[in-house]
Structure 1
Amino acid sequence: MRRSIHLKIVRSLIIFIVIGVVGIGVFSLLSKGKKLLTPEDIYSFQEPTRDGTGKIYLGREIAVPIGGHEVIAWLERDSRNVEERPDILIDVLQLKETDIVADVGSGSGYMAFRIAKKVPQGKVYAVEIDQSMITFMLDKIKRGNITNVRPILGTINDPQLPKSKIDLVLMVDSYHEFSHPYEMMGAIKQSLKPKGKVVIVEYKGEDDSVPIRALHKMSVEQVKKELQFAGLKHLQTINQLPTQHIMIFQK
């Protein structure tokens, strides 16, 4: 009998402690004003401006995407080597031969195929939501017998990358067109290994002389605001490219 009473007392104490801990946790979250964010908390809407969707994220109007098979010639133009200096960007990435890289918003795979040469024992996931771009890359892979580039058809809010497997995520002139940037960055963060990096390359929004329409450029401060909001740490900004910022973040 005494043993039975003792067990009941112990169980009651355990339940009391658990309820107390949970209650403290809930109170702590409420007192700090934290809650699960919904799209209504994150985005607002206005009349679209030129090149804009009318969807506002942290003070920035999201740009209308430029895509389709007809832009492949522009993405693959010979002058891009001089205008954007992809060689400098790849040097900045400091890739190891075994790295697993994701090129999100890969387009024609212009950067993905260049990066693949630097990671012969690794892999490059080339993520696109445009099937015509996926088809173009698959054809290039077949013709070139390329074994370490894998095109992935993502969605507007998820790049469909494997969890906790990616060393580095690169986005070149694509982030500003994400229709769901908060959701995309959440999924990208989940795909990164511990201490994995995100590199954003965008045309310089602070520089009026850069001949790109305003909504298709971004300032350093705006990119930092958005990626830090997504829970990433800003490491550095590099200004070695002619018209673009290179901004490096870490999980």
Structure 2
Amino acid sequence: MSPITRICALIAVLPLLPAAGPLPRPQRPVAKVVSSAWGEEAARDKAGEAADVIRIASTKPGMAVADIGTGGGYYVMRVAPVVGPQGRVFAQDLSPGVLERVRQRTRAAHFTNVRFVQGSQANARLPAASVDVALMIHMYHEIEQPYLLLDRLRRSLKPGGRIVVVDLDRPSEEHGMPKALLACEVKAVGYELISMTDIKQGYVAMFRPGVRPRPETVKACRG
């Protein structure tokens, strides 16, 4: 790809964001954060969750992967060896204390390809055009402003980048996310559904950026 072609592709997926777009809040319960980790890591490994997600997301050496809402760092520890020293993992979370604990885990494992980002409920705060795969693992139902976060996340994806959501197919107040409601919310801000795959630990939904709608036209999906 020539430099000019690369720049044009980048511009195509990085539309300007309004200073304060009138994006709605979700019309469904938002689950409370009750733990920095989702389930026991050994049980998740036994169920093959991370292996399934890494395979479905086509994660490969040299890629950049963001673990949004990393919690205990379960995916950071499993993705970092996959992308390798030429790749990068962004461990992102709201809590500086959580990020410090994950930092200690990666330091003990001698991983040098992990970067740490403190975000907010409305903005992941990842660098522009930096991410091939953005993971949201068992946490989408806890996002207070999903429409705004997803809209802003678009600018952080590289050309061809995608977001991957893992959740349980049950009401958000029960720490899950109904499949149809998830697809409605993500598509409402201009993403296209690539696939939705059942796994032992719920389902994996993968999306790519499509045409971004005008923020004032976005309507909240009903839960």
Indicate the residue corresponding to 2:207 in structure 1.
249
Superposition TM-score, scaled by structure 2 size: 0.78
2:56 maps to 1:89: no
Q: Equivalent of 1:170, from 111, 135, 138?
A: 135
Indicate the residue corresponding to 1:65 in structure 2.
33
Q: Tell me, which stretches of 5 or more residues in structure 1 are unaligned?
A: 1-35, 44-56, 207-212
2:75 maps to 1:117: no
SS in 2 for 1:62: coil
Note the 1:1-251 alignment, pairs <5 A: 37-38=21-22, 42-43=24-25, 57=26, 59-67=27-35, 71-72=36-37, 75-83=39-47, 85-120=49-84, 121-205=86-170, 214-239=173-198, 241-251=199-209
**C-alpha distance in structure 2 between counterparts of 1:235 and 1:77, whole Å:** 28
Q: Which amino acid aligns with 1:219?
A: P
1:83 positional shift = 4.2
**C-alpha distance in structure 2 between counterparts of 1:126 and 1:37, whole Å:** 27
1:233 positional shift = 0.6
**C-alpha distance in structure 1 between counterparts of 2:61 and 2:139, whole Å:** 25
Superposition TM-score, scaled by structure 1 size: 0.70
Deviation string, structure 1 residues 60-115 (Cα, Å, up to 9, x no partner): 21111223xxx55x655422222462222212121121111111011111011101
Contact map agreement 1:76 1:110 (CA 8 A) in 2:
no
Contact map agreement 1:167 1:197 (CA 8 A) in 2:
yes
1:243 positional shift = 3.4
1:195 positional shift = 2.4
Q: Which amino acid aligns with 2:200?
A: P
SS in 1 for 2:76: helix
Q: Which has the higher helix share?
A: 1
1:214 positional shift = 4.3
CA pair 187-37 structure 1, distance change in 2 beyond 3 A: closer
Q: Which amino acid aligns with 1:123?
A: R
RMSD: 1.9
1:37 positional shift = 4.5
**Which consecutive segments of 4 or more residues in structure 1 shift more than 3 A?**
74-77
How many residues end up aligned between the 2 structures? 189
Aligned-residue sequence identity (percent) comes to: 25
Q: Which has the bigger relative contact order, CA under 8 A and spacing at least 6?
A: 2
Q: Which has the larger radius of gyration?
A: 1
